[in-house]
Amino acid sequence: MKKLVVFDLDGTLAESKGAIDPEMSTLLYSLLQVARVAIISGGAWPQFQKQVLAHLPDDERLQRLSILPTCGTQFYEYNRGWNKRYSEDFSAEEKAKIIQALQAVVATLGYQPAQHWGKPIEDRGSQITFSALGQEAPLAEKKKWDPDFAKRQQMKTLLEKMIPEFSINLGGTTSVDITKPGIDKAYGIHKLRDILIIGLPEMLFVGDAIFPGGNDYPAKETGVDCIKVRDPDETKRVIETIVVCYAVL
C-alpha cells in the first residue's frame, strides 16, 4: 500500500474555491489514520485554511497532513499549529513582467468578460494566478467560461512565447497559474519525497486535471501512480476504497 496519498484541491477535493463538504471531511480524517496525506494546489495558503483546514478536527492527526500551496512553492506542516517550512517568492520585477504578459494576452484574445467578480490577477507570492472571471466568481458562471480548456490553451500558447522563462499551467475552472521555471506539481512531489523521505513508488496522486497542459499532469510525469477523477464525488469513492484496503491488510 502507498505511504502517501497526494491530492489536488479544486475540482478534486472540493468544487472550485468551495469548502470540502462534511462527507469529504470525514473521509480525509479517516484516511489520515492509515496514511500520510498531502494537498498540492495552485491556491494560496488562505484558500487551504478556508476550504480544508477549517473543516477538519484540529488534533494530532494533522501531523500526517502536508499542505503545499501555489503548486509546491510553499510548504506548511503541523506541529501544535501550522508552520511554514519554506516559500519561494517572485521578485518585484518578475511579478511585473508576468502581469504585463497576462494583460497583453487577455487583450489580444479578447477575453475580457462583461462582468468580473473580484480581481482577475492575483499575486500569491510564489505564483501569479489569472482567473478569467475574477477570484470570487460564482461556480456556475466559471463552469460555462472554458469547460474544455480551449481558451486557456490559447493563452498558454501565447504566454509561453512571451515569457518562456516561467512555467504556465492550467487548473481549476478558469485559472492559469504561472510559477518560476520548473515549478509545478512535479516540483511539489519531489519536495514531498525529500522532506518526508518517501519514495515516488510509495506515493499516489489524485487529481482532476491529469492531461497534457493540465496543472496536475506534471505529477504524472514524475512517474508517481495517478488516479484521474471527474469531481469530488469520484474522489470520495477513491478515498473510501483506499481506507477499506488498509483495513483488510
Which residues does residue 87 pair with via DSSP β-bridges, in sequence order? 74
Is 233 annotated for ligand binding? Answer: no
Is 89 annotated for ligand binding? Answer: no
Strands 82-87 and 74-78: antiparallel
H-type alpha helices, 110-231? 139-145, 150-162, 185-196, 217-221
Is 193 annotated for ligand binding? Answer: no
3-state secondary structure 91-118: CHHHHHHHHHHHHHHHHHHCCCCCCCCC
Could you give the CA distance from residue 215 to residue 220 in angstroms, rounded to a whole number? Answer: 10
3 state DSSP class of 73 = coil
Rg of the chain over Cα atoms, rounded to whole angstroms, equals 17
Instruction: Answer yes or no: 194 catalytic.
Output: no
Is 208 annotated for ligand binding? Answer: yes
How far, CA to CA in Å, does 35 sit from each of 40, 90, 143, 144, 202? 16, 33, 33, 37, 11
Is 175 annotated for ligand binding? Answer: yes
Catalytic residue, chosen from 8, 146, 184, 216, is 8
Strands 175-179 and 203-207: unpaired
Instruction: Answer yes or no: 58 catalytic.
Output: no
Is 10 annotated for ligand binding? Answer: yes
Closest CA to 188 of 29, 49, 9: 9
Sign of CA dihedral 49, 54, 58, 63: negative
Known binding residues: 8, 10, 124, 175, 177, 208
Known binding residues for Mg(2+): 8, 10, 208
Active site members = 8, 10
Known binding residues for alpha-D-mannose 1-phosphate: 124, 175, 177
